[in-house]
């Protein structure tokens, strides 16, 4: 990272990216990628049978999707860029240099998608006399929505496993990384299932007072979701197998958190129960739509959101210690630069470091600076994933021994494969240990460049 | 701390020729900013028309018609923003991200800010009938959405401004101090006036277009009168640029100025002046929209295009010195990094101050074991003295344990399995069992 260090010491930076990204997936998969083909199919089905109530239901579902995707969906999509440019500019800037044309193509499709959804939604009533053309417009929109996701999935796959790009560094070798197609094969049907469950949830509100319509809609939407559930399971299996072995080792911590890693098996069971619940509800909806209690329509959608959220968390976590597999560590340090930083130090090679030389007088302050540069992409001092909490877990609440901490820092990546190696000299590791030991009790929050710029108050334990 | 930070740039090549990226940036940005102008100006004119509708109900219909254009224009404004954002990320990533970080809170607040603005504008649009009896509330919703929208350009301006002044990066303390830097506020004023002018011109053309049944769609309003009012808004806003423009120029820090830029601006101003005269004459005419209107559109389009080019010329001029420093520093860093990689591959990394040469086994011990094991005292696990006693003469037993620690003893946490290459196991076992007690202990 050779940028001013943006840092949120309470929530943590990862939470910022994760919050926006998960919200985006919550909107994108059910409300766009899955919903657009679903609504077009609904509209077509109503048109074929000349069913005005059915057409109205499709329009109402689309209204919700239109409002949500053109506000929260569009802005969180751009927001992922905004957040990553704050939290890990080194990573996003590198990705843009590799994937410029993929993103550019995605943008062109995205423009098409927005034009299509404007046209599709705003002409629903004016084009009531030309339904065939209007349904075709919906189909075009469905394709555009899917293509934008298909392109971005290539980039997400690349971040997990760049494959042959590391040797060839060509655009195409980056796009067709080993995880791309499996992940796409999983995401596509998952989005369809999620859209079906969303529509079930919405149908609960939009069919009030029309039991017949409700019964038929519940059956149709349940069948839609069921039909996509099997491909989703197959895609999940393929994706699971494509995850590199070194990454799969991270799965227990990824699914839970470090503290709950031991609950891995139980968590898998919980996820299995959730899938089963979705399966049962949709089966019941398809076979006995009259019997299905109304509240039951709300549950599967909520469950899907939880599933989607944990899927994204796992994807984010298991690629550690890298942010771009085998090219850049999570803290923005290029793998290739590690030897130099270990020889000459991270302070010396950071334009924004407030301390350059370590003396006996400034060791804790210099260590705090090392902490800001090397650790704060994932750790805070006082908040989520606090470095002090992690060390307390290791060494207890008593006074820590500086040497112990120092040697832990130098070797942590061997015992904890998700940690990147310490990117500095032994002296810097010692200074960082001094800072950690000095601030062990205070947990003084570390300020970010967004608040204090280059200046800021001296960190605990010394003068800057 | 350095007075002007000279960071290293990305160590990957640009994705396309620099000139092509610059062209893409200038053209795509103009498309984006025109839609932003239409969105923001449209939102303001919607509110103005709705307020007028309180006394002349026919204007309430006009407000709804304008609001319908904002629905489309706002989504296009966002989606068209992604292209230039991509281009600026590729071309000026180092400078842009630095500005983003230094104004981080405001920068990330853009996401909920604009999303909320859009939601409020939808609420405003879709409750027009439901809230017909509570106009105050309805206007307040529209005004809240518009106010939020008005805040967004200020954040963007603060960023694209700050990225041009690496010499001032050291003074910035958060978003507000970035707003106070150089000429953000004059540029903001310039931009707001442009938004009003662009939206008013667009609406004049839109409402007077062929195929739009004005009398049926906007009963109670006179097409010519509405046209004259809208052109009057465009005229007034553009005339006010005669004040705002020089203010922007005078407050512009000089390090980005060049004769080319000033020549470019002179032509742009000449276009704008000609457009003003034509606009003044067109707005006085008691008839439908004439061909003069289109000439105004072309002239002002030219002005906007030249201004966009001028922005780029200024940016290039302003950044060149810093960019050269960064390029030189980046080249040095790349060479140093390669050197260190090669020394490591050759097994001769440089030692830092205070470090001593260590045997291979000791290096591995320091990296992989020392966090938990001290030589003489209990750290997390037992001390080496004890381990060496148990495995004396049995390195294979020690290695087997390290690979798969099988049992636990009371008072000690479980040791994780340690994975390394076979020779490394042997080296570290040799260090623990033979070397460490052959020399005086260094650990403290």
Q: Quick one: how far is CA A136 from the chain centroid?
A: 32
Q: Which of residues 168-197 of B touch A (CB under 8 A)?
A: 169-175, 177
Decide if B343 touches A, using CB distance below 8 A: yes
Q: Which of residues 409-428 of B touch A (CB under 8 A)?
A: 416, 418-420
Q: Which residue has the tokens 């984010």?
A: A316
Is B298 found in the same domain as B371? no
Domain boundary pick from A305, A329, A353 = A329
Q: What is the pLDDT of residue B434?
A: 84
Q: What is the pLDDT of residue B393?
A: 85
**Of the segments A295-309, A411-425, B307-321, which one has the largest average pLDDT value?**
B307-321
Evaluate whether A428 touches A370 at the Cβ level (below 8 Å).
yes
Decide if B130 touches A, using CB distance below 8 A: no
Residue A355 covered by a domain: yes
pLDDT digits (tens, 9 = 90+) for B251-280: 998 888 999 999 999 999 999 999 999 999
Q: Is the pLDDT of residue B348 over 70?
A: yes
Cα-Cα-Cα-Cα dihedral sign, residues B360, B363, B365, B367? negative
Residue A453 pLDDT class (50, 70, 90 cuts): confident
Q: Is the pLDDT of residue A265 over 90?
A: no
Average pLDDT (A64-74) is 95
Q: What is the pLDDT of residue A175?
A: 62
CA distance B81 to B85: 6
By CA distance, what is B15's nearest residue in A? A97
3-class secondary structure, A334: strand
The C-alpha R_g of chain B, in whole angstroms, comes to 34
Q: What is the pLDDT of residue B124?
A: 97
**CB within 8 Å: A414 and B170:** no
Is A85 found in the same domain as A41? yes
**CB within 8 Å: A104 and B339:** no
Q: What is the pLDDT of residue B123?
A: 97
Average pLDDT (B320-327) is 95
The 8-class DSSP code of residue B349 comes to: P
Is B136 found in the same domain as B178? yes
Q: What is the pLDDT of residue A259?
A: 46
Residue B295 covered by a domain: yes
Q: Which residues contact A431 (CB under 8 A, 6 or more apart)?
A: A358, A363, A364, A366, A367, A370
Is B207 found in the same domain as B316? yes
3-state helix, strand and coil shares in percent for chain A, rounded to the nearest 5: 70, 0, 25
3-class secondary structure, A322: strand
Q: Is the peptide bond before B433 cis (omega within 30 degrees of 0)?
A: no
Decide if A79 touches B, using CB distance below 8 A: yes
Domain range for residue A95? 13-329
Is B387 found in the same domain as B280? no
Is A367 found in the same domain as A295? no
Average pLDDT (A370-374) is 94
Q: How far is A237 from chain B (nearest CA, A)?
A: 28
Q: Is the pLDDT of residue A6 over 90?
A: yes
Decide if A328 touches B, using CB distance below 8 A: no
Q: How would you class A463 by CB atoms within 10 Å of its CB: exposed for 0-12, middle for 13-18, buried for 19 or more?
A: exposed
**Of the segments A201-210, A287-296, A407-416, B6-15, which one has the largest average pLDDT value?**
B6-15
Q: Is the pLDDT of residue B35 over 80?
A: yes
Residue A460 pLDDT class (50, 70, 90 cuts): very low
CA distance B275 to B304: 12
Domain range for residue B387? 360-435
Residue A463 pLDDT class (50, 70, 90 cuts): very low
CATH of the domain at A49: 1.20.1630
Q: What is the pLDDT of residue B442?
A: 46
Write down the mean pLDDT value for chain B: 90
Is A385 found in the same domain as A417? yes
Decide if A439 touches B, using CB distance below 8 A: no
Residue numbers in A near B339 (CB within 8 A): 340
pLDDT digits (tens, 9 = 90+) for A9-57: 988 888 898 889 889 989 998 999 999 999 999 999 999 999 999 999 9
pLDDT digits (tens, 9 = 90+) for B400-426: 888 888 666 766 777 777 777 788 888
CA distance B178 to B173: 7
Decide if B262 touches A, using CB distance below 8 A: no
**CB within 8 Å: A351 and B6:** yes
Is A124 found in the same domain as A57? yes
Residue numbers in A near B79 (CB within 8 A): 74, 107, 110-111, 114
Number of domains in chain A: 2
Q: How many CB pairs under 8 A join A and B?
A: 240
Residue A168 pLDDT class (50, 70, 90 cuts): low
Q: What is the pLDDT of residue B164?
A: 94
Evaluate whether A223 touches A286 at the Cβ level (below 8 Å).
yes
Q: Best mutation site among B80, B115, B373, B420 for testing chain A: the one with the most A CBs within 10 Å?
A: B115
Decide if A133 touches B, using CB distance below 8 A: no
Is A290 found in the same domain as A368? no
Q: How far is B403 from chain A (nearest CA, A)?
A: 12
Is B380 found in the same domain as B330? no
Residue numbers in A near B71 (CB within 8 A): 122
Q: What is the pLDDT of residue A462?
A: 39
Q: Is the pLDDT of residue A263 over 80?
A: no
**Of the segments A227-231, A305-309, B139-143, B423-427, which one has the largest average pLDDT value?**
B139-143
Domain boundary pick from A279, A294, A329 = A329
Q: What is the pLDDT of residue A5?
A: 93
Q: What is the pLDDT of residue A252?
A: 53
**CB within 8 Å: A67 and B122:** yes
- Asked if the ipTM is above 0.85, the reply is yes
Is B418 found in the same domain as B274? no
Q: Quick one: how far is CA B384 from the chain centroid?
A: 54
Residue A464 pLDDT class (50, 70, 90 cuts): very low
Residue B173 covered by a domain: yes
Q: What is the pLDDT of residue B235?
A: 95
Q: Best mutation site among A351, A354, A437, A464 for testing chain B: the one with the most B CBs within 10 Å?
A: A351
Residue B396 covered by a domain: yes
Quote the crossing angle between the two packed helices A131-160 and A180-206, to the nearest 10°: 130
Q: Is the pLDDT of residue A268 over 70?
A: no
Is A399 found in the same domain as A370? yes
Average pLDDT (A227-249) is 77
CA distance A95 to A13: 19
Residue B351 covered by a domain: no
Residue B441 covered by a domain: no
Write down the mean pLDDT value for chain A: 84
Is B381 found in the same domain as B322? no
Nearest by CB: A408 against B101, B371, B444: B371
Residue A8 covered by a domain: no
CATH of the domain at B429: 1.10.760.10
Residue A461 covered by a domain: no
Q: What is the pLDDT of residue A422?
A: 94
**Of the segments A6-20, A172-186, B326-340, B390-404, which one has the largest average pLDDT value?**
B326-340
Is A321 found in the same domain as A344? no
Average pLDDT (B7-33) is 94
Is A179 found in the same domain as A70? yes
Residue B347 covered by a domain: no
Q: What is the pLDDT of residue A458?
A: 44
Q: How far is A426 from chain B (nearest CA, A)?
A: 7
Is B397 found in the same domain as B301? no
Decide if A339 touches B, using CB distance below 8 A: yes
Domain boundary pick from A274, A304, A329 = A329
Residue A160 pLDDT class (50, 70, 90 cuts): low
Decide if A5 touches B, using CB distance below 8 A: yes
CATH of the domain at B195: 1.20.1630
Largest CA distance in chain B: 109
Share of chain B above pLDDT 70, in %: 95
CATH of the domain at A429: 1.10.760
Is B263 found in the same domain as B387? no
Q: What is the pLDDT of residue B288?
A: 79
Average pLDDT (A370-392) is 92
pLDDT digits (tens, 9 = 90+) for B84-95: 999 999 999 999
Is B155 found in the same domain as B32? yes
Is A202 found in the same domain as A319? yes
Q: Is the pLDDT of residue B349 over 80?
A: no
CA distance A456 to A14: 23
Is B177 found in the same domain as B259? yes
3-state helix, strand and coil shares in percent for chain B, rounded to the nearest 5: 75, 0, 25
Is A348 found in the same domain as A218? no
Share of chain B above pLDDT 90, in %: 67
3-class secondary structure, A328: strand
By CA distance, what is A118's nearest residue in B? B72
CA distance B43 to B196: 10
The 8-class DSSP code of residue B417 comes to: P
Residue B100 pLDDT class (50, 70, 90 cuts): very high
Is A207 found in the same domain as A137? yes
Q: Is the pLDDT of residue B312 over 80?
A: yes
CA distance A224 to B111: 34
Residue numbers in A near B86 (CB within 8 A): 96, 100, 103-104, 107
Number of domains in chain B: 2
Is B410 found in the same domain as B274? no
Is A298 found in the same domain as A398? no
**CB within 8 Å: A454 and B418:** no
A120-124, A386-390, B23-27, B399-403: the lowest-pLDDT one:
B399-403
Residue A307 pLDDT class (50, 70, 90 cuts): confident
Residue B352 covered by a domain: no
């Amino acid at each position: 990272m050779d940028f001013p260090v943006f840092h949120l010491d309470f929530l943590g930076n990862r939470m910022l990216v994760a919050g926006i990204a998960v919200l985006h997936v919550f909107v994108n998969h059910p409300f766009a990628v899955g919903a657009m083909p679903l609504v077009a199919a609904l509209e077509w089905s109503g048109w074929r049978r000349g069913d005005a109530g059915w057409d109205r239901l499709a329009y109402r579902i689309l209204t919700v999707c239109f409002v949500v995707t053109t506000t929260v969906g569009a802005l969180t999509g751009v927001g992922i860029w905004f957040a990553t440019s704050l939290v890990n500019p080194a990573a996003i800037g590198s990705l843009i240099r590799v994937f410029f044309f993929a993103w550019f193509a995605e943008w062109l499709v995205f423009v098409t998608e927005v034009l299509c959804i404007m046209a599709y939604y705003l002409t629903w009533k004016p084009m009531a006399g030309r339904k065939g053309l209007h349904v075709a417009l919906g189909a075009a929109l469905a394709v555009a929505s899917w293509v934008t996701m298909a392109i971005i999935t290539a980039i997400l796959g690349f971040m997990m496993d760049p494959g042959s790009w590391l040797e060839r560094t060509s655009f195409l070798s980056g796009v067709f990384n080993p995880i791309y197609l499996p992940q796409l094969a999983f995401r596509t049907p998952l989005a369809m299932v999620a859209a079906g469950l969303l529509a079930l949830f919405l149908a609960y509100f939009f069919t009030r007072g029309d039991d017949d319509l409700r019964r038929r809609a519940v059956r149709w939407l349940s069948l839609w979701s069921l039909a996509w559930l099997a491909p989703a399971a197959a895609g999940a299996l393929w994706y699971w197998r494509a995850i590199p072995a070194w990454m799969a080792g991270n799965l227990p911590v990824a699914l839970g958190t470090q503290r709950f890693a031991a609950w891995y098996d139980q968590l898998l069971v919980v996820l299995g129960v959730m899938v089963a619940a979705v399966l049962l509800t949709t089966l019941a909806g398809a076979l006995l739509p009259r019997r299905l209690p109304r509240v039951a329509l709300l549950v599967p959608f909520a469950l899907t959101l939880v599933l989607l959220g944990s899927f994204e968390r796992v994807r984010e976590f298991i690629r550690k210690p890298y942010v771009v597999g085998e090219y850049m560590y999570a803290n923005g340090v290029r793998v290739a630069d590690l030897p130099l930083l270990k020889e000459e130090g991270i302070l010396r090679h950071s334009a924004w470091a407030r301390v350059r030389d370590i003396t006996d007088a400034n060791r804790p302050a210099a260590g705090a600076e090392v902490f800001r540069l090397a650790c704060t992409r994932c750790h805070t001092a006082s908040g989520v994933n606090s470095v002090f909490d992690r060390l307390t877990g290791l060494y207890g609440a008593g006074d820590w021994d500086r040497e112990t901490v120092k040697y832990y820092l130098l070797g942590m990546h061997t015992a904890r494969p998700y940690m990147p190696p310490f990117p500095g000299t032994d002296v810097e590791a010692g200074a960082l240990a001094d800072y950690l030991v000095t601030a062990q009790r205070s947990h003084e929050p570390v300020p970010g460049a967004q608040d204090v710029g280059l200046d800021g108050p001296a960190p605990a334990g010394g003068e800057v | 701390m350095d007075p002007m930070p000279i960071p290293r740039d990305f160590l990957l090549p640009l994705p396309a020729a620099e000139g092509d990226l610059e062209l893409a940036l200038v053209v795509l940005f103009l498309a984006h900013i025109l839609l932003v102008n239409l969105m923001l100006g449209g939102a303001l004119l919607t509110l103005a028309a709705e307020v007028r509708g309180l006394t002349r109900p026919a204007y309430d219909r006009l407000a709804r018609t304008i609001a319908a254009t904002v629905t489309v224009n706002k989504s296009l404004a966002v989606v068209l923003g992604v292209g230039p954002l991509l281009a600026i990320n590729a071309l000026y990533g180092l400078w842009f991200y630095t500005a983003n970080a230094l104004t981080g809170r405001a920068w990330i607040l853009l996401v909920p800010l604009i999303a909320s603005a859009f939601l409020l504008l939808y609420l405003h649009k879709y409750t027009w009938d439901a809230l017909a009896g509570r106009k105050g509330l309805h206007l307040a919703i529209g005004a809240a959405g518009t106010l939020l929208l008005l805040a967004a350009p200020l954040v963007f301006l603060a960023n694209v401004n700050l990225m041009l002044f690496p010499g001032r990066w050291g003074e910035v303390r958060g978003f507000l101090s970035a707003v106070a830097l150089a000429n953000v506020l004059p540029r903001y004023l310039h931009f707001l006036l442009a938004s009003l002018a662009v939206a008013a011109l667009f609406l004049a053309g839109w409402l007077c277009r062929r195929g739009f049944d004005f009398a049926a769609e906007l009963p109670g309003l006179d097409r010519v009168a509405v046209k004259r009012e809208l052109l009057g808004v465009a005229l007034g806003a553009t005339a006010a640029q005669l004040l705002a423009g020089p203010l922007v120029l005078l407050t512009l820090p000089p390090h980005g100025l060049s004769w080319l830029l000033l020549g470019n601006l002179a032509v742009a101003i000449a276009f704008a002046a000609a457009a003003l005269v034509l606009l003044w004459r067109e707005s006085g005419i008691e008839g439908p929209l004439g061909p003069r209107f289109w000439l105004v559109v072309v002239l002002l389009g030219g002005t906007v295009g030249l201004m966009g080019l001028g922005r780029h010329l200024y940016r290039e001029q302003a950044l060149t010195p810093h960019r050269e420093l960064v390029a030189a520093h980046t080249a040095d860093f790349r060479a140093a990094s390669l050197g260190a990689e090669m020394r490591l591959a050759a097994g001769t990394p440089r030692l830092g101050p205070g470090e001593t040469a260590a045997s291979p086994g000791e290096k591995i011990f320091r990296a992989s074991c020392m966090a938990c094991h001290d030589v003489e005292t209990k750290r997390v696990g037992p001390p080496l003295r004890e381990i060496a006693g148990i495995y004396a003469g049995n390195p294979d037993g020690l290695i087997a344990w390290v690979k798969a620690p099988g049992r636990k003893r009371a008072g000690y946490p479980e040791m994780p399995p340690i994975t390394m290459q076979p020779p490394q196991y042997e080296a570290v076992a040799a260090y623990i069992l033979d070397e460490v007690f052959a020399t005086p202990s260094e650990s403290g």
